A and B are shown apart, each in its own frame.
Chain A
């Protein structure tokens, strides 16, 4: 049975917790950590750099599990802005809802939000896979360069604005597409990709019900004729 160690953020600061996670934990053979009383505090478990299971029991604040590498972090509640921003590897799961900029700039790993995310989910994504069980707010996947955003619910306005080579799959409705984002037919590889990510996220949906959104690549090159009247 895994060793579970509990830390209480009503009795220590986030800085003390993170210093422990960065400096002392790597010297110990602890496989699982529980963090209680997060109470919306910011920057909990940022900068992890080892395989360990971390459970945050309650609602967390901004930047939770930011810059994650290798660790498997679960937030048993809601989380504030920029959860799992700039993730390199490992996984972050939010059992509730996430606020703005979830998974921003992530390079790798998997982010699962079982509830909804607010605006700008996956902004400037660089390789992380994001699965949202609910809906996402406006400007999601803005300037996303690589990686996948699977949205089981609805997408807000300007989805995929100025998209590069990330791919978006939407199970529900799309309020509007952003500049240069376009819907494309689902190919067998898309169905397989969505099925695989849904399975990893533990969410049951029919991949055939998803719409693929990708870059039309019209913004890749400057068009001197655009908007010209003479």
Chain B
């Protein structure tokens, strides 16, 4: 199974209170995915060449202050930083490749969750309600968010295997379904020098799409290309710096419901995740069609 949710706010109030709307959406999907959960939230883009780096360490008592000090002295200056349990965020002008090399050299147990001017990812093992409480989802603000609740069927349960998966910058993917050829996709991409962090099928899909975009395709063209490469069932929900993008496979046997009002676009695996949203009674509620790409700009 698995549950997916997404929300793009079209009002200042919605952006300010994004976390309050999104939290009941993701906890409601705990029945579809009780073993882990994650959320990517997209903020106003950083300026002056800064990027937001999201880090994870499996030990919630990890010595983040030392990590932050070492980052400052060995990589680059930080303009902002925050620690929450197993998760740390650092805003810095550091280059992604420098950060990745430093991590593999000095902190191999720290996982780089996300990089970008807008994206911030939280994901961990546990019931979605616990994850939402642990990382204070209710207090989040932002323009849009993409979330996932996981019921693992094809690879192990771990924080790294939780969704969203990220690749490149300001791009994430959550997935309900299963791919049947992730190993061959992974082998092809690895031969091109692309590094994987897990054996998860969704990571193969995420890195395939990001690889196409790095080769010059638009996201839409990458998705079109994926139809003949990724074999399996999927409802994919993607977040970019300014968009929510949704697509279902040709058989559309993994669910999705969309609700649109003047104030928001909301996506969920099931309607009950949307039932609490304001104005839902008069929202345009519909089911996305197979192999049709839906894209909503903030």
Which A26-43 residues sit within 8 Å CB-CB of chain B?
39-42
Tell me whether B16 is interfacial, beta carbon within 8 Å: no
Cβ-defined contact, B252 with A40, below 8 A: no
Chain B residue numbers with a CB within 8 Å of A62 are: 270
CB A136 to nearest CB in B, in angstroms, measures 12
Chain B residue numbers with a CB within 8 Å of A59 are: 271, 275, 285
Tell me whether A215 is interfacial, beta carbon within 8 Å: no
CB B109 to nearest CB in A, in angstroms, measures 41
Chain A residue numbers with a CB within 8 Å of B253 are: 100, 119
Chain A residue numbers with a CB within 8 Å of B287 are: 97, 99, 118
Distance, CA A80 to CA B272, complexed state (A): 10
Given the known inter-chain contacts A39-B275, A119-B252, A138-B252, please indicate yes or no for A61 contacting B270, CB distance below 8 A.
yes
Chain A residue numbers with a CB within 8 Å of B274 are: 40
Distance, CA A78 to CA B258, complexed state (A): 12
CB B100 to nearest CB in A, in angstroms, measures 42
Which A105-136 residues sit within 8 Å CB-CB of chain B?
118-119
Distance, CA A61 to CA B276, complexed state (A): 14
Cβ-defined contact, A78 with B285, below 8 A: yes
Distance, CA A18 to CA B208, complexed state (A): 47
CB B157 to nearest CB in A, in angstroms, measures 25
CB B211 to nearest CB in A, in angstroms, measures 30
Distance, CA A181 to CA B281, complexed state (A): 39
Nearest-CB residue, chain A, relative to B287: A118
Distance, CA A97 to CA B271, complexed state (A): 12
Cβ-defined contact, A137 with B285, below 8 A: no
Distance, CA A39 to CA B257, complexed state (A): 13
Chain A residue numbers with a CB within 8 Å of B286 are: 97
Tell me whether A81 is interfacial, beta carbon within 8 Å: yes
Distance, CA A39 to CA B275, complexed state (A): 5
Distance, CA A138 to CA B255, complexed state (A): 14
Cβ-defined contact, A78 with B271, below 8 A: yes
Distance, CA A205 to CA B170, complexed state (A): 51
Per-residue 0/1 for B241-257: is the Cβ within 8 Å of any A Cβ (1 yes, 0 no)? 00000000001110101
Chain A residue numbers with a CB within 8 Å of B272 are: 39-42, 61
Chain A residue numbers with a CB within 8 Å of B275 are: 39-40, 59
CB A107 to nearest CB in B, in angstroms, measures 24
Cβ-defined contact, B252 with A80, below 8 A: no
Nearest-CB residue, chain A, relative to B276: A39
Chain A residue numbers with a CB within 8 Å of B255 are: 80-81, 99-100
Q: Which of A40, A118, A137, A138 has a CB less than 8 Å from the CB of B271?
A: A40
Distance, CA A70 to CA B216, complexed state (A): 60
Q: Which of A80, A100, A119, A137 has a CB less than 8 Å from the CB of B270?
A: A80
CB A12 to nearest CB in B, in angstroms, measures 16
Distance, CA A40 to CA B269, complexed state (A): 11
CB A15 to nearest CB in B, in angstroms, measures 14
Chain B residue numbers with a CB within 8 Å of A42 are: 272
Distance, CA A7 to CA B78, complexed state (A): 57
Cβ-defined contact, A40 with B290, below 8 A: no
Distance, CA A61 to CA B290, complexed state (A): 20
Distance, CA A203 to CA B240, complexed state (A): 44
Distance, CA A118 to CA B289, complexed state (A): 9
Chain B residue numbers with a CB within 8 Å of A81 are: 255
Per-residue 0/1 for A56-73: is the Cβ within 8 Å of any B Cβ (1 yes, 0 no)? 001101100000000000
Which A77-101 residues sit within 8 Å CB-CB of chain B?
78, 80-81, 97, 99-100
Distance, CA A138 to CA B274, complexed state (A): 25
Chain A residue numbers with a CB within 8 Å of B276 are: 39
Distance, CA A61 to CA B32, complexed state (A): 14
Chain A residue numbers with a CB within 8 Å of B289 are: 137
Distance, CA A82 to CA B287, complexed state (A): 14
Q: List 29 A-B contacts (CB under 8 A).
A: A39-B271, A39-B272, A40-B270, A40-B272, A40-B275, A41-B272, A42-B272, A59-B275, A59-B285, A61-B270, A61-B272, A78-B271, A78-B285, A80-B255, A80-B270, A80-B271, A97-B286, A97-B287, A99-B255, A99-B257, A100-B252, A100-B255, A118-B252, A119-B252, A119-B253, A119-B290, A137-B289, A138-B252, A138-B290
Interface residues of B (CB under 8 A from A): 251-253, 255, 257, 270-276, 281, 285-287, 289-290
